[in-house]
Amino acid sequence: MLWIKALHIVFVTSWFAGLFYLPRIFVNLAMETPGSTTERLLLMARKLYRFTTMLAVPAVVFGLILAWMQYSGPEGMKLPGWLHAKLLFVVLVLGYHHACGSLLKKFERGANRRGHVFYRYFNEVPVLLLLVIVILVVVKPF
């Protein structure tokens, strides 16, 4: 079980590193006028999004395996309240990840209508989500 937990932590950390950086690329894209820099930033964003998607899959899979190993029994799964809350926030992180993909497609089509200030605030969302998730896992408030 410790191996699964270690792998879960590594993949979650790597996934979040990508989620922290991708919106920073969006900030720069929103500030750019079309040109060669824009194409380079779009290439970086595409590659980073693809890579973070590949990291998200094992992060979620190892997390589900951990929950199954710890909380399944003969009468089925009995998840504590804090884990229900954590799973809700994981779903929100997956939604944020998907939103990043949608925003990237808008940048690729030249259809972005938001300014760099929006993306600066958007960039803070995964920090808040990670904060709540870590507090739930460590403190287990309920």
Q: Give the residue ranges of the annotated binding site for heme.
A: 8, 86
**How far apart are alpha carbons 87 and 103 in whole angstroms?**
24
Bind-site residues: 8, 86
Q: Give, in degrees to the nearest 5, the angle at Cα 63 between 57 and 64.
A: 90
Positive/negative CA dihedral, 24, 25, 31, 37:
positive
